[in-house]
Structure 1
Amino acid sequence: MRTNLTILGIVAALAIGLVALPALAATADVDVRGGEYIPASLTVEGNTTVTWTNYDEVSHTVTSTGGTFDSGPIEQNETFNYTFGDTGTYPYGCTLNASTQRTPMQGVVIVVPEGMMIEGDENVTSGEEPVRATLAGLVAGDENLTSFADAVEDAGLTRTVLNAGGPYTVFAPDDGAFEALDNATLAAVLNDTEVLDSLLMHHVVRGNYTAEDLMGEVNATNETVLETLAGDSLNLSMVDDSFMVENATIVASDLVAENGIVHTIDTVLVPPDLLPPENVTAEGNVTAAENVTPEAPVEEQRVIP
Structure 2
Amino acid sequence: MRRNPVIPWLAAALAIGLIALPALAATVAVEIRGGAYHPASLTVEENTTVTWTNYDTVSHTVTGTGGAFDSGPIEQNETFNYTFTGTGTYPYGCTLNASTQRTPMQGVVIVVPEGMMVTPGEEPEGVTLADVIAQDENLTTFTAAVEKAGLAQTVFASGGPYTLFAPDDAAFETLGNETLAGILNDTVMLDTLLMYHMVEGNYTAEDLMAEVNATGNETVLSTLTGDTLSISVANGTLMVENATIVASDITADNGIIHIIDRVLLPPGSGIGEAPENVTPEVTPAERVIP
Tell me which of 216, 219, 225 is aligned to 1:224: 219
* Aligned twin of 1:160: 154
8 Å Cα contact 1:47-1:83 kept in structure 2: no
Distance 1:123-1:6 versus aligned 2 partners, 3 A rule: same
Partners of 1:185 and 1:280 within 8 A in 2: no
Residues 1-305 of structure 1: pairs in structure 2 closer than 5 A: 3=3, 5-30=5-30, 39-52=39-52, 63-64=62-63, 66=65, 68-70=69-71, 80-87=79-86, 88-93=88-93, 106-113=106-113, 115=114, 117-119=116-118, 130-132=125-127, 134-182=128-176, 186=180, 189-190=183-184, 192-221=186-215, 222-275=217-270, 280-282=273-275
**Structure 2 residue identity aligned to 1:214:** L
2:54–2:74 CA contact under 8 A, matched in 1:
no
Q: Which amino acid aligns with 2:273?
A: V
Distance 1:232 1:34, change over 3 A: closer
Question: Structure 1 195/38 Cα, relative in aligned 2: closer, same or farther at 3 Å?
Answer: closer
Q: Distance in 2 between matches of 1:82 and 1:121?
A: 25
TM, length-normalised to structure 2? 0.74
Greater Rg, structure 1 or structure 2?
2
SS of the residue aligned with 2:263?
A: coil
For 2:6 and 2:125, locate their aligned partners in 1 and report how far apart those are by CA, in whole Å: 57
State the alpha-carbon separation in 2 of the partners of residues 104 and 258 from structure 1.
32
Question: Counterpart amino acid of 2:125?
Answer: P
On the 8 A contact 2:54/2:75 being kept in 1, the answer is yes
With over 3 angstroms needed to count, the CA separation of the structure-2 counterparts of 1:139 and 1:80, relative to structure 1, is farther
8 Å CA contact 2:112–2:159 kept in 1: the answer is: no
Please report the RMSD computed on the Cα atoms of aligned residues, expressed in angstroms.
3.8
Does the CA-based 8 Å contact 1:184-1:280 persist in structure 2?
no
Distance in structure 1 (CA, Å) of the matches to 2:94 and 2:17:
44
Per-residue deviation, 1:186: 4.1
SS state at 2:138 partner: coil
SS at match of 1:229: coil
Structure 1, unaligned runs of 5 or more: 285-305
* 8 A contact 1:64–1:93 mirrored in 2: yes
Tell me by how many angstroms 1:44 deviates. Answer: 1.6
Provide the TM-score with structure 1 as the length reference. Answer: 0.71
Cα distance between partner residues in 2 of 1:36 and 1:272: 25
Aligned partners of 1:262, 1:269: CA distance in 2, in Å? 15
Structure 2: gaps (5+ residues):
278-290
Percent of pairs with identical residues:
60
How much has 1:203 moved relative to structure 2?
Answer: 0.6
Instruction: Describe the shift of the 1:142–1:31 C-alpha distance in structure 2 as closer, same or farther (beyond 3 A).
Output: farther
SS, match of residue 214 in structure 2? helix
